[in-house]
Amino acid sequence: MSIKSLTPLEGRYGAITKPLGDYFSEWALIKYRIHVEVEWLIAMAGNPAFAEIRQFTSEETAFLRTIVQNFDEPAALRIKEIERTTNHDVKAVEYFLRETLGAMSLADVLEFIHFSCTSEDINNLSYALMLKHGIEAIWLPAAETLVQTVTAMAEEEKSIPMLAHTHGQAASPTTVGKELAVFVYRWNRQLKQIRSQEYLGKFNGAVGNFNAHSIAYPEVDWEAVSRSFVESLGLTYNPLTTQIESHDYVAESFHALTRFNNILLDFDRDMWLYVSLGYFKQKTIAGEVGSSTMPHKVNPIDFENSEANLGLSNAVLDHLANKLPISRLQRDLSDSSAQRNIGTGIAHSHIAITYTLKGLRKTVVNKEALAADLNHAWEVLSEAVQTVMRKHGHANSYDKLKAITRGKGISEEDIKAFIESVALPDTDKKRLLTLTPSQYIGVAASLVKHIK
């Protein structure tokens, strides 16, 4: 972290985003390129169809994979140094491997490094692995922790009554836990899609036709070789492409992440409003300051911080989802620069999740405030009364309740006096007379079961 960092991802939020550097940094991209190149070399050496490349000893195979396992900053900087001459980042990786293997027993196989490959064969597989591994290792565990935290809150608070608000106005009561469970249910649908996301890869040359491959080895079933190699990396094979893999799966992935983000944004704003209404209290932290001039302030800044980062994440992910699947003819280079920002979109989402979790750990339900609000909202029982009246055939039941409640406050005595004046069966009348706003929650508490 440097105080002169250009973006807050490496500066202010550097501690949060640091783990993502193993998957989305320039260093990570170079490492994944090395990984793909090495695995392709090993795959060819292990295939008898390529008679001109000998089989590797177990020690040689282990050494090749050690290049990836031990890849460090000096190695990456050496590749960047080579790139200053080649002005081509993937070719610099090839030359680095030639340099590394040239001094070893593998000097006789140098011509098979990057054999039949176009740069995009290496890049598309590298980016697919970066995205797959980064989401699975860093983003997904954070998202799951968030959902598990809210799940626990929903189950613990499923029976705590709360005045609902539609259009910002008092509405039929609900429970704290049920309202939290709504978000859990929505998040879980998105997580299911994110977990099952396919990450596609292609390995078919300059325009997707195995042109060079077939000239060099016309007898090889190149589609089978390509499929086997792509799937060996843990990716899904795409058999029909131009020079580039079409990036449709990237759009699918980012659209799912954006939907998750939007649900989180909705959650952040609701939590902010619940804090504003006093339904949740915020814990005070010793030494913290809420305002530089107002000593009493305890602000919901974590939810606000999350909201800001979600906007940035969505902006980047939405742009990439819309841009990457579009490429002129068999390829243009506009996807190259765009893809380098994949980590930016995911990082802002990761920061947002982190701050929402931080905000949740500082909030507790304010049962007293919830009860007080409900006790001053007897008008919400008008729905219950007019519905029971309709059941028993009373004409214009809605309008009668509207006349005494719409836009007005109404007391417990007022609503009970009205109920007493209506001809209703004793059982229903008694149920209405004993009903309070805090009891008028339907089956809210039992609905929380749907998040398990």
pLDDT in tens, 172-188: 999 999 999 999 999 99
Among 5, 105, 232, 291, which one carries the catalytic annotation? Answer: 291
Q: How confident is the model at residue 291 (pLDDT cuts 50, 70, 90)?
A: very low
pLDDT at 42 over 70: yes
What integer best gives the mean pLDDT of the chain?
A: 94
Res. 306: pLDDT tops 80: yes
Mean pLDDT of 34-46: 98
The 10s digit of each residue's pLDDT in 230-251 is 999 999 999 999 999 999 999 9
Q: Could you tell me the two tokens for 412?
A: 């417990």
Which residue type, as a one-letter code, is found at position 15? Answer: A
Q: Could you write out the DSSP letters of every residue in 278-339?
A: TSEEE---TT--S-SS-TT----HHHHHHHHHHHHHHHHHHHHHHHTT--STT--THHHHHH
Query: For 411-432, what is each residue's pLDDT tens digit?
Result: 999 999 999 999 999 999 999 9
Per the annotation, the verdict on 291 as an active-site residue is: yes
pLDDT at 109: 96
- Partners of residue 300 on adjacent β-strands: none
**φ, ψ at 312 (rounded to 5°):** -65, -45
If pLDDT is split at 50, 70 and 90, which confidence band does 296 have? low
Query: Which pTM does this prediction carry?
Result: 0.94
* Portion of the chain with pLDDT greater than 70, in percent: 96
CA distances from 76 to 34, 120, 132, 362 (A): 10, 20, 22, 42
**Phi/psi at 363 (5° precision):** -120, 145
Beta partners for 164? 171
The two three-digit tokens of residue 62, written as one number: 């282990």
pLDDT of residue 297: 44
Domains of the chain from N-terminus onward: 14-115 (1.10.275.10), 129-159+166-204+220-366 (1.20.200.10), 376-451 (1.10.40.30)
- What pLDDT score was predicted for residue 298? 67
- What tens digit of pLDDT does each residue of 111-124 get? 999 999 999 999 99
Annotated catalytic, 397? no
- Which is the catalytic residue, given 2, 58, 167, 421? 167
Whole-number pLDDT of residue 105 = 86
